[in-house]
Amino acid sequence: MVEDKSAMEQRIDNAIYGAPKIKPDEQRKYLGTFRERVCLTISVTEFEERDWSFAVAKELERGIGNQVFLNDNLPHSKFRNYIKVATDANANFTLKTEPEFRTTPDSLAVVVAAKTAVYQSPIDVQKRYPGASAQSRTEQSTPKKHFWERLFDRKEE
* Res 10: pLDDT: 87
- In this prediction, residues 17-25 reach a mean pLDDT of 83
pLDDT in tens, 95-130: 999 888 888 888 999 999 999 999 988 999 999 888
**Cα angle for residues 57, 33, 31 (degrees, 5° grid):** 75
Task: Give me the percent of the chain exceeding a pLDDT of 90.
Answer: 45
- In this prediction, residues 32-39 reach a mean pLDDT of 93
Is residue 126 within 8 Å of 46, Cβ to Cβ?
yes
Cα separation of 115 and 118, whole Å?
9
Strand partners, 41: 111, 124
Cα separation of 63 and 91, whole Å?
10
Average pLDDT value over all residues in the chain: 84
* Res 157: pLDDT: 43
* Res 3: pLDDT: 60
Q: What is the assigned CATH class of domain 23-142?
A: alpha beta
- In this prediction, residues 23-41 reach a mean pLDDT of 91
Helix (H, G, I), strand (E, B) or coil at 93: strand
Is residue 65 within 8 Å of 111, Cβ to Cβ?
no
Instruction: Mean pLDDT check: name the lowest of 17-21, 46-50, 140-144.
Output: 140-144
Q: Which amino acid is residue 83, in one-letter code?
A: I
Going from N- to C-terminal start, the domains of the chain cover 23-142
Whether 148 shows a pLDDT value over 60: the answer reads yes
* Res 71: pLDDT: 92
Cα separation of 12 and 14, whole Å?
5
Is residue 101 within 8 Å of 31, Cβ to Cβ?
yes
Is residue 24 within 8 Å of 95, Cβ to Cβ?
no
63 sits in the region (left: phi over 0; alpha: psi -120 to 50; else beta) called: left
